[in-house]
Structure 1
Amino acid sequence: MRARAKVTLAEAEDKANVAHAKAEGLADIKRAKAVAEANRIIGESPKNNEEYPRYIWIKGLQEGKGERIYIPTEAGPPILEAGKAGETDR
């Protein structure tokens, strides 16, 4: 009788583990679909919307910490030290 109870318990544990794994798998799929949808929305937002990338660029400049920005010129080399970070115009 004990042996049969052990077998029944082991079968029940196996079924519970399978059910748990399936539930985790379904949750992973739902999370992946949500991330894919968010990426699609983010990817489409700048299309036909010139203002959005400009807004993100300006926001990045405002939140910057005095980084230098190198601007390429027609001649090839960037303009270096056009203004030092933190200096005011004279």
Structure 2
Amino acid sequence: MDGQRSLFGIVMAAGLLLIILITGILVGCPRYNVYQQEMAGRAKLAEAQSSRQVAVLEARAKMESATSLAQAEVTRAEGAAKANHILQNSLGGPEGYLRYLQIQALETNNAKLIYVPTEAGLPVTEASRLPGIPEQTDRN
């Protein structure tokens, strides 16, 4: 009988342990789910704050870049204005500078035909160069 009591005690202890384990799981699961959701919420909050900080830093970098580019453009424009002023004064004023620019354009252009403005500001056309129009010859 001692063996049966001992076996019965072991089975009872195992059953009691099983009941305690099941009770712990039933009580612990909802609490663990709440804990898990709380941790997930904290992780999302930390990620959102980090993303916001990155966005703010990127915006500041873009603003600083735009400011630097604007300052560089202003400096370039001031230099170009000074150079134009020096050229204009050395060429006898605005008319001389415009004539200089026209000569520069003619040198860099590979055009075969150049129209020169007349007194009225209109170009002299060469109608005889058009196909189908006979060329006029001088009859002196």
Q: Same fold (TM over 0.5)?
A: yes
Q: Distance in 1 between matches of 2:73 and 2:41?
A: 48
Aligned counterpart, 1:88: none
Q: Deviation string for 1:39-63 (max 9, x for gaps)?
A: 1111111223328935433111122
Percent identical residues: 19
Q: Distance in 1 between matches of 2:58 and 2:121?
A: 60
TM-score, length-normalised on structure 1? Answer: 0.71
Q: Deviation string for 1:25-75 (max 9, x for gaps)?
A: 110110111011111111111223328935433111122322312132xxx
Question: How many equivalent pairs are there?
Answer: 81
Cα distance change on mapping 1:77 and 1:39 into 2, 3 Å: closer
If asked which structure has higher relative contact order (CA below 8 Å, sep 6+), I would say: 1
TM-score, length-normalised on structure 2? Answer: 0.48
Q: Is there any run of 5+ residues in structure 1 with no aligned partner, and where?
A: 86-90
The RMSD of aligned alpha carbons is: 2.8
Aligned partner of residue 24 in structure 1, secondary structure: helix
Structure with the higher helix share, 1 or 2: 2
Q: Distance in 2 between matches of 1:3 and 1:77?
A: 76
Asked if residue 62 in structure 1 is aligned to residue 100 in structure 2, the reply is no
Structure with the higher strand share, 1 or 2: 1
Match of 2:124 among 65, 80, 85: 80
Give yes or no for contact 2:115–2:123 (8 Å, CA) kept in 1. Answer: no
Aligned counterpart, 1:12: 50
Q: Distance in 1 between matches of 2:55 and 2:107?
A: 52
Structure number with greater Rg is: 2
Asked if residue 71 in structure 1 is aligned to residue 112 in structure 2, the reply is no
